[in-house]
Amino acid sequence: MLRSRQVIVGGTAAIVAVFVAVLAVRHFQPGKTHTVHAQSTAIPVMAVPAANEDVPIILRGLGTVTAFNTVAVKSRVEGSITAIHFSEGQEVKAGDLLIELDARPFQAALDQANATLAKDQANLTNAQTDLARYAQLLQHNNAPEQQYTTQKATVAQDEATVKSDQAAIDAAKLNVEYASIRSPIDGIVGIRQIDLGNLVQANSQTLVVVTQIKPIYVIFTSPEADIPRIRSAMAERRLTVQAYDPSDQKQIAQGALNLIDNQVDQATGTVKLKAEFANSDEALWPGQFVTAHLVLDVVHNGVTVPAAAVQIGPNGRFVYVVRSDNTVDLHPVTITQTENDRSLIGSGVSAGDRVVTAGWFKLTPGAKVTVSEDKTPAGAPAPVGAAGAGPPATTGRGGTR
């Protein structure tokens, strides 16, 4: 009896196990009800149409602001400072009086040179008179020729002495002039390095530095590979350079490229470029670090899409384009440039094509979607999660930047 019950219970358990296995196989069998349900569900995405814009082609480089002219003002003569005629940070013009030295020793030397000249001019006048008299006597054979020749040499000697005296006067005048130290350029006066009453030596210490900042230069670097492009563009037109703050967010000033340095730095593989800025508002300051944007060209009516729409797969860059039947198609693209979160398309997308900017990580070519308009302003950061964790397994071919 007991054995019969065990046989019945065992048979019932076996039937139940077979039934559960059949249900499991039917539930997970590919192509059945589960897959059909997944395919019938549209994937929510955000999309925007590709736009037509004028896009500048930009080369970036880190740069330093450099003064147009910098002069370390020194004294050419020795003397005590009797007056200072500038304030630190003051704007000055070329020729403005900055510092006065005690000019009395130089004035005394000038007066002495003038007196010496007057004396020697009197001697010259007397010698010339004697020479004229000896010339007349020699014509009538009333004076020896040797006396005439000697007097002629005396006149020449006195003339040379007068010229020497005049040179001494000119030198003394220069020393008097040098006692008044003037600005050699237009610019801004820096921190003074002397005080009233200091004794300064000739051509030794720097008294003050004058820096010209209108106009001003920005010197920045670019990879040597870009030299041909830059030279070709310079041959056609004057290239614009925009100076941005170090964070590369705010434009400070706009100028023009002056030159490419004549040598590549072999250690870094870069070349220096020099741009000139009017700097009328003094927005640029010597020594300041900036990010330089060199505008090589402007692409008119270029096709642009948000940078979040462009993805990278094993075969290159691509975007998903929403077709009229609300399915998506994968388009390989080439990117000419990405600037301010906008990508300039070289090929693969036309203006007006709706490109997916969010939700693409769930997509495969031909997938059904429901589209919401992406209202993120151009140049704004992409929404969190817009780019997903990575590209899908199937991609098309794409270009490089």
Tens of pLDDT, residue by residue over 315-342, are: 899 999 999 899 999 999 999 988 888 9
With contact defined as beta carbons under 8 Å apart, do 102 and 82 qualify? yes
Cis ω for the linkage preceding 332 (within 30 of 0): no
**Cα separation, 303 vs 54, whole angstroms:** 9
Range with lowest mean pLDDT among 64-78, 144-158, 242-256: 144-158
Determine whether domain 41-55+300-373 maps to CATH 2.30.110.10.
no
pLDDT, tens digit, for every residue of 72-123?
999 999 999 999 999 999 999 999 999 999 999 999 999 999 999 999 999 9
Residues 6+ apart with CB under 8 A from 73: 98, 99, 181, 183, 184, 206, 207, 208, 209, 210
CA distances to 180, 217, 258 from 213, rounded to whole Å, are 24, 8, 16
Report which of residues 374 and 285 the model is more confident about.
Answer: 285
With contact defined as beta carbons under 8 Å apart, do 27 and 353 qualify? no
- Number of C-beta neighbours around residue 222 at 10 A: 22
Q: What pLDDT is recorded for position 379? A: 47
What mean pLDDT is reported for the chain? 84
With contact defined as beta carbons under 8 Å apart, do 48 and 354 qualify? yes
**Cα separation, 326 vs 333, whole angstroms:** 21
CATH 2.40.420.20 placement within the chain = 41-55+300-373
3-class DSSP assignment, residue 276: strand
With contact defined as beta carbons under 8 Å apart, do 316 and 397 qualify? yes
For a pLDDT cut of 90, what percent of the chain falls above it? Answer: 65
Give residue 38's pLDDT band: very low, low, confident or very high (50, 70, 90): very low
- The helix (H) or strand (E) run that includes residue 51 is strand 51-73
Give residue 40's pLDDT band: very low, low, confident or very high (50, 70, 90): low
Task: Give the best-scoring range by mean pLDDT among 5-14, 81-90, 299-308.
Answer: 81-90
Report which of residues 21 and 125 the model is more confident about.
Answer: 125
CATH superfamily for 103-178 is Helix hairpin bin (1.10.287.470)
With contact defined as beta carbons under 8 Å apart, do 296 and 341 qualify? no
CATH 1.10.287.470 placement within the chain = 103-178
Residue 191 predicted with pLDDT over 80: yes
Per this entry, what is the length of the chain? 401
Q: What pLDDT is recorded for position 20? A: 39
Q: What pLDDT is recorded for position 378? A: 52
- Number of C-beta neighbours around residue 364 at 10 A: 12
Mean pLDDT for 133-144 is 79
Report which of residues 386 and 167 the model is more confident about.
Answer: 167
> pTM of this prediction?
0.69
* DSSP states along 342-395: EEEEEES--TT-EEEEESGGG--TT-BEEEEE--PPTTSPPPTTSS-SS--S--
